[in-house]
A and B are shown apart, each in its own frame.
Chain A
């Protein structure tokens, strides 16, 4: 693929990213109040790099008040091999089930298969039987199960070609996942394909071999990769965003809102009061140094037709933001909702804190001393570990509050 160095290309390619051949099911995947466990290897574990995906889904599905628990563990497979710690693979699997119990899911999204690529057809068979056992064991806890497909190759550094052979092997596992989903009566979700994302302009001067793109190795995602894939995943899960716009026709006393709930009040022929809130909380900014927030679409586009001639001030939440002429307003003005973006960042930070606390809860450092064969020495410190539970729950509550979009007040009035 050829790199281009313009920001518009960046945007364009982002727009071109599509959620593969996802079959949109009529039945929504999430139910109100779901506790969603994300289970898998490095892709799941690294969702915590920036937490963009969880932030996006929490916002888009805010009305469902979802709770997420990340049980990703690098290198893991359906046998729970990475979780074995000092024990056998069977111990790893037992631990996986134990951790699942701790997380108490009502819905579990499994992402496995990537670590087995390269094991050939024998590997696929083993994978199928392992997956079948795992799905049955997850279902036995009372949880619904969805299977998320493997990551298609993500274009990356030229010096790291994606092996055709590897992708071919991947497709064999992908087929297995699709078939197993049908056989085991689980929802199958195709991993969205991220297309080429150009590095930012300064990349050629950089000394780092890790271009700031969606992936540094063609397989795992960077913070930017997760930021990019987040809306595609929420679309895949059944709900996407609409650009926020509000069209007001003063003469007809009518308005049309997209992506918003708005109440428009024509207080006089030169003053409009609007109370609005987005359907979903705005997204957090693109991760720093991977692109520019300027390249984003407007937070809110307001078009007002039929205003009397003159210069109007536009106030947001009690503070005048700018002035615009009636002509400019009829063509449309963009309004930046900085406070809502801050809320989105706050949401993301809270999710990060929650995930960190949960990580320390289910997979604390120093396990050897806390729970394993040296617990007779420092096992007394294990009393601290359940102390993370209320901390995690506090963050959950905060996340549910922050995920809801705020109400904004906009006053457009003739300037003196």
Chain B
């Protein structure tokens, strides 16, 4: 395994002419944008995205369902749990329903700190997310491998005496278990009691998904590893799980009109006691 993980988006090591953008290898945030029907992607991303889809046609539904979980989780946190502060690490390129839009629709004064270390994601976030914000949002250029630095910087906007929802949406797959669990636990340790933690990631319960992911990891992009559902549990160690617990993404508090789909990503929301 390589050591070129980042906060969830690619950190190219090739010559990128000083901008951190490499258009010769696929870029996870841009491929994700492509699968979600966006236009902020390049030929190399579309080729990689199509190749992936040939092996695992379900990926488009996975992408959409995962965003659906983000929406439902944030809505639950804002509406049912009364959370007004969100720390969303590994933001990705803006899409239709970003964390702050969902949260600020429930409570316009919700504060959101987005964290990423990909220059393209940050540029888009500063320009386009700000334009849609009803309330205060902030973007941090920081690496998740330094959790304390993120917590420190987030304290400029967030009040660490009040509960905070920590969100890691589809980014811990970029790390091995040995790296991932300590990162998550250190982040959780910095949050006050009554805070929440929401996570989803890809699981290895489908052969085609696993195979497509392997092909992607061989393409030169920053790799992303699928976990067995059991290996998700340590992320939530010591937390009180919100019903229905750790489940496939479509099963987490589905909308009443949701059509049943089989999805191989797992998710959960836990509360810090």
Same complex origin of A and B: no
Chain A interface residues toward B at CB < 8 A: none
